[in-house]
Amino acid sequence: MRGILFAVLGMTSTGVGAWYLPGIAVHDYEPSEQVWLKINSLTSAKRHVPEGSYDFNFCKPKKVVDVQENFGEFLSGDRIQNSPYKIFALEDSYCNVLCGSWTGAKKRAQKTIDLIKNDYHHNWILDNLPAAAVKEEMGSTTTLYAKGVPVGFESKEKFYINNHVTLIIKYHSTDVGTYRIVGLYAEAFSVKHAFTFGDKWTPYKKGGAEKKATRKANAGIELATCDGSRAMTSADAAYLGPQEYVAKTQIVFAYDVVWEPSEVRWASRWDIYLSTGSPAGGAVHWFAIVNALVVVVSLGALLALALYRSLRADLQRYNAAAEERERMVGTGEGRDDGDESGWKMLHADVFRPPRNPLLFCAVVASGAQLVAVGSIVFAFAYVGFLSPANRGALVVALFAAYALCGGLAGYVGAALYKGLGGKRFSATAAAIAGLFPGACAAVFVALDVGLLAAKSAGAAPVVVLLQLAGLYFAVAVPLVYLGAAAGFGRDALEWPAKPAARVRAVPPQSPAMALPVICAVAGAVPFGAAFVELYFALDAVWMEAYYYVMGFSSIAFLLLVLAAAECGALATYYTLVAEDHGWMWRSFLAPATAGAYVFAYAAYYYFTKLDGDAFSLTFCLYFGYMGLASVAVALVAGAAGFAASYKLTRAIYAAVKFD
């Protein structure tokens, strides 16, 4: 509880502040204590297919050890392993030889060249901090906190490997004489290193005294291209020349370690990473939120105006006419129906079950479940539990929240289905439990098969997939059935008017009331409410940028739901005014078109920002995941639109006197 309180008090207006990250323990280092540098998968903002570092010709430790990970890290493509770097607290060291690696034959060397072509980056982790890449050119220094350290670069159709790195470790002193790591910066160089006296690195042999002798011999090798008195600089690298990566060549990898004191406290060390996702100090986010708020308030005012003026006048007219008819019947003057028109004429059809009621109830229930999941996850993220420092936590939270909210989905879908006259309990529960999760599972398995075929480190192990399926069937499915049992066990929904035996014909509609027109208009509003945050979210996911402004994200999510609810209610009202009683599907589909807008913008983003190839594995990964995200947005918006329309329709027909 104290951690939550500190997290809330430490939040700033941009969602980033100096606060303790729950679940991340502080480590105090003693002088000369060994500090372990870990490596993660190689990643690229161009290709989006993670690769294992040790699947290529990079230096390996004596024994490669996989760091224990949660299934959220596996599903995110993280593969964390140990590294051969030797780092000791507060001990500077220069010109350390990491290894001499042979590029191999042309085919094997081409694999590493492809990494450079596709802008792959190393992802190093020290004390749970990712390495920020430092790049110096033309007298200016640029620091990239998200993308990692580049494998190499291309120049004049030649490819060069970054084989020397200077690790700058920032530390903060404690009052008890220990030290805490608060920053990690890596400046990579391409240097044509050479050993002294023409020595060469001897590859390790497998097993026995020969391996020990080889290790001992390699330990004494020194470089002729640096003297070990200071760290490598860009001027030194330029003087020595870059190391071209070609077949059948020995590449010498080396590194420097520099420790520098810092005034940054341990609790604030992630601030610089997270603040990079908030441009202009959050001004862009605030501008977008204010614009979206104006749209939502304007829509709310339009809805209120329609309800207060048009609807109020209709109610007074209809009720006065009903009282007059009752008086005429009571006095024997006969009955005059007058010239009635408008939404009152639908009272015997407005609560008639829609087409495919089971599917309708399943999509509404799935949308309600996703609204609950979004609310829970944003709440936990806002107080710091789902920080990027806690790798995989966001994915775990999404799965756990979705599974636990299965009971809510089952209850909502079953109660609505029973109110519409449905009696198929098992079919209802199965549809709710399998509709959206089934689509997600099908897409994910298909993409995972593609990653396995490409031998990517991002492919989720079969064991993890089986654990995930077991979790869903052991927790989520039973909760859905329990919720559905509760929904069927309650009293059926009572409608203000009962449907007549004969279906009333829908009169000819104006082109403006056509479903495609209403969907195009109603879907654009919720999309516009969250458009800017969507842009930054896409950058975070696909351009490997940090994004942790959860305050803005929560507001954008709320505005999307409110805008969808208002658009659904307005679409329903004008549908009823046009004497069309098929409002249920329309109230869902109109705001749900926001998902189509999200997918269309995602396609635009891919071909303009990512510059991706069509029908490649990257193409399939991108559109597979963005398709699922678009469906999720559609379900959320559609459920909000129907909920508001349901309340509106019940309210207005309950206020009318019927014969």
> Within this chain, do residues 485 and 367 fall inside the same structural domain, yes or no?
yes
Tokens representing 293 are 């708020």
Within this chain, do residues 470 and 604 fall inside the same structural domain, yes or no? Answer: yes
- According to the model, what pLDDT value does residue 199 have? 63
Q: Is residue 393 part of a domain?
A: yes
List Cβ neighbours of 508 (8 Å cut-off, separation of 6 or more).
none
Contact (CB, 8 A) for 236 and 136: no
- Phi and psi for 99 in degrees, rounded to 5? -175, 170
- Give the global pTM: 0.84
620 DSSP 8-state letter: H
Asked whether residue 320 falls in the same domain as residue 265, the answer is no
pLDDT at residue number 339: 45
In angstroms, the CA 594 to CA 575 distance is 19
- Its sign, for the CA torsion 125, 128, 130, 132, is negative
Mark whether 169 and 103 lie in a shared domain: yes
What local confidence, expressed as pLDDT, does residue 499 receive? 76
| Residue 148 in domain | yes
Given this model, what pLDDT does residue 70 score? 72
The two three-digit tokens of residue 269, written as one number: 């060390």
**264 and 315 in a common domain:** no
Same domain, 473 and 616: yes
Burial tier of 37 (Cβ tally within 10 Å: 0-12, 13-18, 19+): buried
Kindly give, in sequence order, each residue whose CB lies less than 8 Å from that of residue 72, ignoring residues fewer than 6 positions away: 391, 392, 393, 394, 395, 396, 399
- Claim to verify: residue 430 and residue 384 sit in the same structural domain: yes
Structure-token pair, residue 540: 């975070």
Burial of 209 (0-12, 13-18, 19+ CB in 10 A): exposed
Q: What angle separates helix 594-605 from helix 617-654, to the nearest 10 degrees?
A: 160
The b/e string for 454-492 (b: 16+ C-beta within 10 A; e otherwise) is: eebbbbbeeebbeebeeebeebbbbbbbebbeebbeeee
Is 567 inside a domain boundary?
A: yes
Residue 12's pLDDT is 30
> Among residues 26, 27, 169, which one has the least CA distance to residue 91?
169
The type of residue at 213 is A
Is residue 612 domain-resident? yes
Going from the C-alpha of 607 to that of each of 50, 613, 630, the distances in angstroms are 21, 8, 17
Measured distance CA(222)–CA(97) in Å, rounded = 7
Establish if 454 belongs to a structural domain: yes
Q: How far apart are CA 18 and CA 264, in angstroms?
A: 10
Residue segments in the chain with a per-residue pLDDT below the cut of 70: 1-24, 69, 137-141, 197-220, 275-282, 306-344, 547-548, 611-615, 656-659
What whole-number distance in Å separates Cα of residue 363 and Cα of residue 358? 9
Report CA dihedral (92, 95, 101, 106) to the nearest 10 degrees. 120
Phi and psi, residue 119, nearest 5° = 60, 50
Q: Are strands 250-261 and 158-161 parallel, antiparallel or unpaired?
A: unpaired
Domain endpoint, select from 269, 298, 320: 269
52-62 in b/e burial notation, b at 16+ Cβ within 10 A? bbbebbbbbee
Contacts of 442 (CB under 8 A, 6+ apart): none
Whether 323 and 241 share a structural domain: no
What six digits make up the tokens of 501? 């035996």
Q: Which domain holds residue 39?
A: 26-269
In sequence order, what E strands does 190-269 have? 250-261
DSSP assigned state of 580: -
Of the three residues 243, 269, 295, the one that is the final residue of a domain is 269
CB atoms within 10 A of CB 541: 15
Which residues does 623 contact at the CB level (< 8 Å), separation at least 6? 602, 603, 606
- For residues 231 and 319, membership in a common domain is answered with no
In this predicted structure, what is the pLDDT of residue 581? 82
pLDDT value for 200: 65
Query: Residues 6 or more apart from 391 whose CB is under 8 A from it?
Result: 69, 72, 73, 76, 78
> Can you give 424-456 as a three-state secondary structure string?
CHHHHHHHHHHHHHHHHHHHHHHHHHHHHHCCC
Q: How far apart are the first and last CA of the chain?
A: 59
For tokens 């559109």, what's the residue?
623
253 and 361: one domain? Answer: no
What is the enclosing helix (H) or strand (E) of 171? strand 164-173
Locate the DSSP E strands across 227-340: 250-261
DSSP assignment, residue 129?
A: E
Give the pLDDT score at 216: 56
Q: Which two tokens stand for residue 606?
A: 């891919």
Whether 21 is covered by a domain: the verdict is: no
Q: Is residue 562 part of a domain?
A: yes
Residue 215 confidence (pLDDT) = 58
- Residue 101 falls within a domain, yes or no? yes
Look at residue 549 and give its three-state secondary structure. coil
319 and 211 part of one domain: no
Measured in degrees and rounded to the nearest 5, phi and psi for residue 86 equal -110, 110
Strands 132-137, 179-189: pairing kind:
parallel
Residue 155, Cβ density class (10 Å: 0-12 exposed, 13-18 middle, ≥19 buried): exposed
Task: Supply φ then ψ for residue 291, to 5 degrees.
Answer: -60, -45
Pairing assessment for the beta strands 164-173 and 179-189 based on DSSP bridges: antiparallel
C-alpha–C-alpha distance, residues 21 and 6, integer Å: 10
Pairwise CA distance, residues 250 & 59, whole Å: 12
CA dist 635 and 371 (Å) reads 9
| Surface-to-core class of residue 13, CB atoms within 10 Å of its CB (0-12 exposed, 13-18 middle, 19+ buried) | middle
What residues have CB less than 8 Å from 619, skipping those under 6 apart? 606, 612, 613
pLDDT tens by residue, 1-45: 333 333 322 333 333 333 344 446 789 999 999 999 999 999 998
Q: Are 33 and 105 in a shared domain?
A: yes
Domain count, the chain: 2
